[in-house]
Amino acid sequence: AGPYHRVAGEWRHSFEDGSRMSVPLALYCRASLAEHLDARELFDLTRQGLTFFTELFGHPYPFGKYEQAFVPEYNLGAMENPGLVTFTEEYLFPDGATRAQHQGRANTLMHEMSHMWFGDLVTMRWWDDLWLKESFAEFMGAHASVQATDFEEAWIAFADRRKAWAYQQDQLPTT
Ligand SMILES: [Zn+2]
């Protein structure tokens, strides 16, 4: 798929005790999709989330850099690799997108970011406990969206879409 198109950014934070930290940011996508990488919105959300979670958890972002890559043929929504979250390229919108689609992407961005603390920094002992980090991240996706971004409708989308999806999944033998 490479070489990837890259956009660089930075997040800076001042703590109450006067200390400061900065974290380099980057976005990646296939070069052919470069014009559809809306870096401004994605970096805005990223900075809002890093500030929100750093303050909420009382622990600075732990992995030195925060990069996000949009990758092809990805059957997950996203994956919280420490310092380099991978997203399905379906979260780039070459044909335009509704507010609901932008909201869903913001929710996933916050979900994955919360995993940097809960899932990556602190992790479950074994796969049996996967539900714990995922339910926590599900909560944080909506909570951070409402508290830190313009997507104030995030809990409605959660109740209407993601919760219904969970009920469906829970009826399957694969649950
Ligand atoms: Zn997750």
pLDDT, tens digit, 9 for 90 and up, residues 21-72: 999 999 999 999 999 999 999 999 999 999 999 999 999 999 999 999 999 9
**CB-neighbour burial class of residue 129 (10 A; exposed 0-12, middle 13-18, buried 19+):** exposed
Task: Phi first, then psi: give them for residue 93, nearest 5 degrees.
Answer: -120, 75
Residue 121 alpha carbon to ligand 1 centre in Å: 14
pLDDT of residue 31: 96
Report which DSSP code applies to 60: -
Task: Phi first, then psi: give them for residue 4, nearest 5 degrees.
Answer: -80, 150
Asked whether residue 1 carries a pLDDT value surpassing 80, the answer given is no
Task: Phi first, then psi: give them for residue 26, nearest 5 degrees.
Answer: -150, 150
Residue 141 alpha carbon to ligand 1 centre in Å: 9
Q: Which residue has the higher pLDDT, 93 or 75?
A: 93
Average pLDDT over residues 116-126: 94
Domains, the chain, ordered by start: 4-166 (1.10.390.10)
> Which amino acid, 114?
S
Residue 111 alpha carbon to ligand 1 centre in Å: 6
For 3, the token pair is: 């070489």
- Pick the range with the lowest mean pLDDT from 40-49, 138-147, 162-171: 162-171
Residues whose CB is under 5 A from ligand 1 (ion)? 134, 137
Residue 18 alpha carbon to ligand 1 centre in Å: 33
Residues labelled catalytic:
112
